[in-house]
Amino acid sequence: MTSVVVLDYGSGNLRSAQRALERVGADVTVTDDYDTAMAADGLVVPGVGAYAACMAGIRAVRGDLIVDRRLAGGRPVLGICVGMQVLFARGVEHGIETEGLGEWPGVVEGIRADVLPHMGWNTVRAPLESTLFAEVRDERFYFVHSYGVTTWELVDTDPHIAPPIVTWSHHGQDFVSAVENGPLCATQFHPEKSGDAGAALLRAWVRSVR
Protein backbone atom coordinates (compact mmCIF):
# COMPACT_ATOMS: atom_id res chain seq x y z
CA MET A 1 0.00 0.00 0.00
CA THR A 2 1.27 3.47 -0.89
CA SER A 3 2.27 5.48 2.19
CA VAL A 4 1.28 9.15 2.17
CA VAL A 5 1.95 11.84 4.76
CA VAL A 6 -0.39 14.82 5.04
CA LEU A 7 1.86 17.52 6.47
CA ASP A 8 0.42 18.96 9.68
CA TYR A 9 1.67 22.52 10.04
CA GLY A 10 -1.39 24.02 11.69
CA SER A 11 -3.53 24.51 8.59
CA GLY A 12 -7.09 23.23 8.44
CA ASN A 13 -8.68 20.55 6.31
CA LEU A 14 -6.20 17.85 7.29
CA ARG A 15 -8.73 15.16 8.11
CA SER A 16 -10.71 15.73 4.91
CA ALA A 17 -7.53 15.17 2.92
CA GLN A 18 -6.68 12.11 5.00
CA ARG A 19 -10.08 10.51 4.49
CA ALA A 20 -10.11 11.24 0.75
CA LEU A 21 -6.68 9.69 0.28
CA GLU A 22 -7.60 6.65 2.37
CA ARG A 23 -10.69 6.11 0.22
CA VAL A 24 -8.50 5.77 -2.87
CA GLY A 25 -6.24 3.21 -1.23
CA ALA A 26 -3.41 5.14 0.43
CA ASP A 27 -2.02 4.43 3.90
CA VAL A 28 -2.20 7.96 5.34
CA THR A 29 -0.44 9.55 8.31
CA VAL A 30 -1.12 13.13 9.43
CA THR A 31 2.04 14.41 11.08
CA ASP A 32 4.65 17.15 11.31
CA ASP A 33 7.44 14.63 11.98
CA TYR A 34 10.40 15.27 9.68
CA ASP A 35 11.60 11.69 9.34
CA THR A 36 8.12 10.28 8.72
CA ALA A 37 7.43 12.90 6.06
CA MET A 38 10.73 12.17 4.36
CA ALA A 39 10.21 8.40 4.37
CA ALA A 40 6.67 8.35 2.93
CA ASP A 41 6.05 7.43 -0.69
CA GLY A 42 4.11 10.67 -1.18
CA LEU A 43 3.74 13.96 0.69
CA VAL A 44 0.62 16.16 0.60
CA VAL A 45 0.90 19.83 1.57
CA PRO A 46 -2.63 21.13 2.24
CA GLY A 47 -3.49 24.74 2.89
CA VAL A 48 -6.40 26.85 4.08
CA GLY A 49 -6.22 30.53 5.02
CA ALA A 50 -3.70 33.30 4.54
CA TYR A 51 -0.50 32.79 2.56
CA ALA A 52 1.74 34.36 5.21
CA ALA A 53 0.26 32.27 8.03
CA CYS A 54 0.65 29.07 6.01
CA MET A 55 4.26 29.85 5.20
CA ALA A 56 5.00 30.56 8.87
CA GLY A 57 3.46 27.23 9.82
CA ILE A 58 5.38 25.35 7.14
CA ARG A 59 8.70 26.83 8.20
CA ALA A 60 7.95 26.12 11.87
CA VAL A 61 7.82 22.36 11.18
CA ARG A 62 10.72 22.46 8.67
CA GLY A 63 8.25 21.83 5.87
CA ASP A 64 10.34 23.98 3.55
CA LEU A 65 13.28 21.59 4.02
CA ILE A 66 11.05 18.53 3.68
CA VAL A 67 9.61 19.69 0.36
CA ASP A 68 12.97 20.80 -1.01
CA ARG A 69 14.82 17.62 -0.06
CA ARG A 70 12.06 15.32 -1.23
CA LEU A 71 12.02 17.00 -4.63
CA ALA A 72 15.81 16.94 -4.84
CA GLY A 73 15.54 13.16 -4.54
CA GLY A 74 12.64 12.89 -6.99
CA ARG A 75 10.16 12.05 -4.21
CA PRO A 76 6.52 13.01 -4.98
CA VAL A 77 4.84 16.04 -3.42
CA LEU A 78 1.26 17.25 -3.95
CA GLY A 79 0.16 20.76 -2.94
CA ILE A 80 -3.54 21.60 -2.46
CA CYS A 81 -5.07 25.10 -2.51
CA VAL A 82 -2.76 27.37 -0.47
CA GLY A 83 -0.46 24.34 -0.42
CA MET A 84 -0.13 24.94 -4.16
CA GLN A 85 0.24 28.69 -3.83
CA VAL A 86 3.20 28.47 -1.42
CA LEU A 87 5.15 26.50 -4.04
CA PHE A 88 5.58 29.73 -6.01
CA ALA A 89 8.19 32.40 -5.33
CA ARG A 90 6.00 34.78 -3.36
CA GLY A 91 2.50 35.78 -2.39
CA VAL A 92 0.97 39.23 -2.01
CA GLU A 93 -2.10 39.60 0.22
CA HIS A 94 -3.44 42.92 1.52
CA GLY A 95 -0.25 44.63 0.42
CA ILE A 96 1.96 42.23 2.36
CA GLU A 97 4.53 40.29 0.36
CA THR A 98 5.62 36.90 1.69
CA GLU A 99 8.40 34.69 0.36
CA GLY A 100 7.16 31.27 -0.73
CA LEU A 101 8.98 27.98 -1.22
CA GLY A 102 10.21 29.08 -4.63
CA GLU A 103 9.83 25.77 -6.44
CA TRP A 104 8.30 27.74 -9.34
CA PRO A 105 8.78 31.40 -10.25
CA GLY A 106 5.71 33.58 -10.07
CA VAL A 107 3.53 35.56 -7.71
CA VAL A 108 0.24 34.67 -6.03
CA GLU A 109 -2.03 37.71 -6.01
CA GLY A 110 -5.67 38.68 -5.94
CA ILE A 111 -7.82 37.46 -8.81
CA ARG A 112 -9.74 40.16 -10.68
CA ALA A 113 -13.37 39.04 -10.64
CA ASP A 114 -16.77 40.55 -9.89
CA VAL A 115 -17.52 37.89 -7.26
CA LEU A 116 -14.95 36.85 -4.64
CA PRO A 117 -14.09 34.49 -3.17
CA HIS A 118 -14.25 32.12 -6.11
CA MET A 119 -16.32 29.52 -4.30
CA GLY A 120 -17.99 26.53 -5.91
CA TRP A 121 -17.64 24.21 -8.88
CA ASN A 122 -15.67 25.14 -11.98
CA THR A 123 -14.20 23.49 -15.03
CA VAL A 124 -10.53 23.08 -15.90
CA ARG A 125 -8.64 23.15 -19.20
CA ALA A 126 -6.19 20.28 -18.85
CA PRO A 127 -3.69 19.52 -21.63
CA LEU A 128 -4.11 16.18 -23.37
CA GLU A 129 -0.84 14.90 -21.90
CA SER A 130 -2.05 15.34 -18.30
CA THR A 131 -1.84 12.27 -16.08
CA LEU A 132 -3.86 13.68 -13.19
CA PHE A 133 -6.81 14.59 -15.42
CA ALA A 134 -6.65 11.60 -17.77
CA GLU A 135 -9.98 10.23 -16.48
CA VAL A 136 -11.66 13.50 -15.46
CA ARG A 137 -10.82 15.98 -18.20
CA ASP A 138 -14.43 17.16 -18.59
CA GLU A 139 -15.38 17.19 -14.91
CA ARG A 140 -15.87 20.06 -12.47
CA PHE A 141 -13.87 20.62 -9.29
CA TYR A 142 -14.52 22.54 -6.09
CA PHE A 143 -12.68 25.84 -5.55
CA VAL A 144 -12.51 28.21 -2.57
CA HIS A 145 -10.02 31.06 -3.04
CA SER A 146 -9.56 34.75 -3.84
CA TYR A 147 -5.90 34.56 -4.83
CA GLY A 148 -4.08 32.69 -7.54
CA VAL A 149 -1.34 32.65 -10.17
CA THR A 150 -2.46 34.32 -13.38
CA THR A 151 0.85 34.22 -15.26
CA TRP A 152 3.02 31.14 -15.74
CA GLU A 153 6.61 32.39 -15.58
CA LEU A 154 8.74 29.24 -15.79
CA VAL A 155 10.74 29.30 -19.03
CA ASP A 156 11.54 25.90 -20.56
CA THR A 157 15.20 25.98 -21.56
CA ASP A 158 16.36 22.34 -21.39
CA PRO A 159 15.16 20.26 -24.36
CA HIS A 160 15.97 17.06 -22.44
CA ILE A 161 13.51 17.82 -19.61
CA ALA A 162 9.78 17.57 -20.16
CA PRO A 163 8.11 20.94 -19.55
CA PRO A 164 5.52 21.26 -16.77
CA ILE A 165 1.92 20.46 -17.64
CA VAL A 166 -0.13 23.51 -16.67
CA THR A 167 -3.92 23.40 -16.33
CA TRP A 168 -5.99 26.59 -16.36
CA SER A 169 -9.42 27.70 -15.16
CA HIS A 170 -11.36 30.95 -15.48
CA HIS A 171 -13.11 33.12 -12.91
CA GLY A 172 -13.02 36.75 -13.92
CA GLN A 173 -9.68 35.97 -15.53
CA ASP A 174 -7.58 32.91 -16.31
CA PHE A 175 -5.58 31.41 -13.45
CA VAL A 176 -3.47 28.31 -12.94
CA SER A 177 -5.63 25.56 -11.47
CA ALA A 178 -3.11 22.68 -11.51
CA VAL A 179 0.51 21.90 -12.34
CA GLU A 180 2.25 18.59 -13.03
CA ASN A 181 6.03 18.99 -12.95
CA GLY A 182 7.84 15.69 -12.48
CA PRO A 183 7.57 14.69 -8.80
CA LEU A 184 5.85 17.99 -7.93
CA CYS A 185 2.11 18.32 -8.54
CA ALA A 186 -0.42 20.81 -7.23
CA THR A 187 -4.06 21.84 -7.53
CA GLN A 188 -5.68 25.17 -6.71
CA PHE A 189 -8.99 23.41 -6.17
CA HIS A 190 -9.78 20.92 -3.40
CA PRO A 191 -9.83 17.37 -4.80
CA GLU A 192 -10.85 16.07 -1.38
CA LYS A 193 -14.07 18.12 -1.68
CA SER A 194 -14.67 17.41 -5.36
CA GLY A 195 -16.65 14.18 -5.17
CA ASP A 196 -15.99 11.40 -7.66
CA ALA A 197 -13.88 13.63 -9.91
CA GLY A 198 -11.60 14.57 -7.04
CA ALA A 199 -11.33 10.95 -5.96
CA ALA A 200 -10.30 9.92 -9.48
CA LEU A 201 -7.63 12.62 -9.54
CA LEU A 202 -6.26 11.59 -6.14
CA ARG A 203 -6.30 7.95 -7.22
CA ALA A 204 -4.25 8.87 -10.28
CA TRP A 205 -1.75 10.72 -8.10
CA VAL A 206 -1.46 7.85 -5.60
CA ARG A 207 -0.86 5.42 -8.46
CA SER A 208 1.87 7.67 -9.81
CA VAL A 209 3.88 7.69 -6.57
CA ARG A 210 4.17 3.93 -6.17
For 72, 98, 167, the CA distances from 159, given in Å and listed in that order, are 20, 32, 21
Has 190 been annotated as catalytic? Answer: yes
Q: Which of 103, 139, 180, 192 is the catalytic position?
A: 192
Three-state DSSP at 18 gives helix
Q: Which of 22, 54, 81, 109 is the catalytic position?
A: 81
Has 81 been annotated as catalytic? Answer: yes
Contact 49, 64 (CB under 8 A): no
Has 153 been annotated as catalytic? Answer: no
Cα(51)–Cα(53) distance, integer angstroms:
6
Neighbour tally for 23: CB within 10 Å: 13
Contact 98, 59 (CB under 8 A): no
For 43, 103, 108, 203, the CA distances from 198, given in Å and listed in that order, are 17, 24, 23, 8
Cα(200)–Cα(123) distance, integer angstroms:
15
For 123, 129, 179, 184, the CA distances from 148, given in Å and listed in that order, are 16, 23, 13, 18
Contact 142, 198 (CB under 8 A): yes
Q: Which residues are catalytic?
A: 81, 190, 192
